[in-house]
């Protein structure tokens, strides 16, 4: 099931709000959190009424910055904005803009990183990224996230998809990079 196919059925009451008694604000909050999510495991109205056999497919996408290391011509890391798609039915992690793919079965490790190694005097917030390594195609991606929660949700999504597809890779706990070993 693709992210674009998911619909959130809402029954509206003629007296305002939803048919189940929620106010307009509660209804908008639930719709906002439903549609703003970066990935979805929701089901359509047809799947919800059926036996639920198609509810195991997890597919998500999100616009994030990807830093790719290596290369023959450009040997330094390149940062670009990509639409990252996790597609369990096709066993792929792909970038829609650059058309690069990383098969889920080839991912050898996933490392969430909280980078606090910036200048401490500048009091900048930490940066969050997830390092993905594909040892068969010699790829390494660092996907940058705007918030810690966003990163944790993507890591849990990858963990779920990798478990469901029986991948051999491992997912580490969060690694914290700090300017000195004393500061944590």
Complete domains list, the chain, with CATH:
3-49 (no CATH), 59-177 (2.30.29.30)
The widest CA-to-CA distance across the chain, in whole angstroms, is 64
Q: Which residues pair with 113 in a beta bridge?
A: 129, 175
Per-residue pLDDT of the chain (184 residues; tens, 9 = 90+): 444 433 444 444 445 555 556 565 565 555 444 544 433 333 333 333 333 333 344 446 778 888 876 656 656 677 888 888 888 788 888 888 888 889 888 888 999 998 887 655 566 778 899 989 888 888 888 899 888 888 898 898 888 888 888 888 888 888 888 776 655 5
pLDDT of residue 18: 52
Q: HSE (CB half, 13 Å, CA atoms) of 149? A: 2
pLDDT score recorded for residue 51: 38
pLDDT of the residue at 53: 38
**Interatomic CA distance for residues 113 and 110, integer angstroms:** 10
Phi, psi of 108 (to 5 degrees): -95, -30
Convert 45-68 to b/e letters by CB count within 10 Å (16 or more is b).
Answer: eebeeeeeeeeeebbbbbebebbb
Q: Is 140 helix (H, G, I), strand (E, B) or coil?
A: strand
pTM for the model stands at: 0.59
The DSSP letter of residue 3 is G
């Amino acid at each position: 099931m693709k992210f674009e196919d998911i619909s959130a059925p809402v029954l509206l009451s003629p007296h305002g709000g939803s048919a189940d008694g929620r106010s307009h604000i509660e209804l908008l909050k639930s719709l906002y959190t439903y549609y703003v999510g970066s990935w979805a495991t929701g089901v359509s109205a047809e799947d919800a009424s059926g036996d639920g056999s198609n509810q195991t497919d997890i597919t998500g996408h999100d616009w994030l910055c990807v830093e790719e290391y290596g290369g023959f011509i450009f040997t330094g890391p390149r940062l670009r904005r990509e639409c990252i798609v996790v597609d369990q039915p096709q066993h792929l992690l792909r970038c829609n803009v650059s058309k690069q793919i990383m098969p889920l079965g080839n991912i050898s490790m996933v490392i969430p990183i909280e980078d606090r190694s910036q200048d401490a005097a500048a009091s900048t917030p930490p940066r969050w990224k997830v390092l993905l390594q594909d040892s068969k195609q010699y790829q390494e991606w660092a996907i940058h996230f705007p918030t810690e929660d966003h990163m944790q949700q993507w890591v849990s999504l990858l963990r779920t998809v990798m478990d469901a597809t029986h991948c051999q890779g491992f997912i580490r706990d969060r690694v914290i990079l700090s300017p000195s070993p004393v500061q944590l």
